[in-house]
């Protein structure tokens, strides 16, 4: 499973926007400059993210884009779905599709929904505020058990 470049760029741009804060109004040019995403791509993505309700667009003097809600309330799944559409690992999880040659004989099909929900759930647990953090603790520190001391 691999994200498209557009989804990757959207995550990078939303993370940069989050570092500015929820109320900050930013232009596509500013975010393109900060993230090194080509300006036409940045403009396209910001429109798509606004259409999905993740950004608010304001026109005129002092206009631009801002986060529609706090970064902690926007998930990685939200951003990916804004660009890619619903997260679906296989066509089996889409009830409206029936184009698999193995459809009537597949013993795995009933389980793809469970797998798909697990993947989407994991992506939904990662907030934009986590992605926007400028420092990440090493894995060994994040995975270390918490020890309580009573004195």
- pLDDT 10s digits, 90-137: 776 666 666 667 767 788 777 888 888 898 999 999 999 999 987 665
Q: From CA 61, how far away is CA 69, in angstroms rounded? A: 22
- pLDDT 10s digits, 14-54: 999 999 988 889 999 999 999 999 999 999 999 999 999 99
3-state percent helix, strand, coil for the chain, nearest multiple of 5: 50, 5, 40
How distant, in Å, are the alpha carbons of 4, 15, 87, 96 from that of 116? Answer: 18, 25, 7, 16
What mean pLDDT is predicted for residues 76-103? 79
């Amino acid at each position: 499973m691999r994200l498209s470049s557009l989804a990757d760029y959207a995550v990078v741009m939303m993370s940069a926007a989050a570092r500015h804060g929820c109320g900050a109004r930013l232009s596509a040019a500013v975010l393109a400059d900060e993230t090194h995403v080509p300006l036409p791509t940045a403009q396209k993505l910001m429109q798509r993210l606004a259409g999905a309700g993740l950004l608010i667009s304001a026109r005129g003097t002092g206009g631009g884009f801002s986060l529609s809600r706090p970064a902690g309330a926007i998930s990685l799944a939200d951003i990916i779905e804004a660009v890619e559409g619903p997260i679906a690992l296989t066509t089996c999880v889409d009830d409206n599709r029936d184009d698999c040659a193995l459809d009537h004989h597949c013993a795995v099909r009933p389980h793809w929904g469970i797998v798909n929900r697990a993947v989407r759930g994991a992506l939904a647990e990662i907030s934009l505020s986590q992605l926007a953090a400028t420092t990440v603790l090493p894995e060994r520190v994040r995975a270390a058990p918490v020890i309580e001391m009573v004195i």
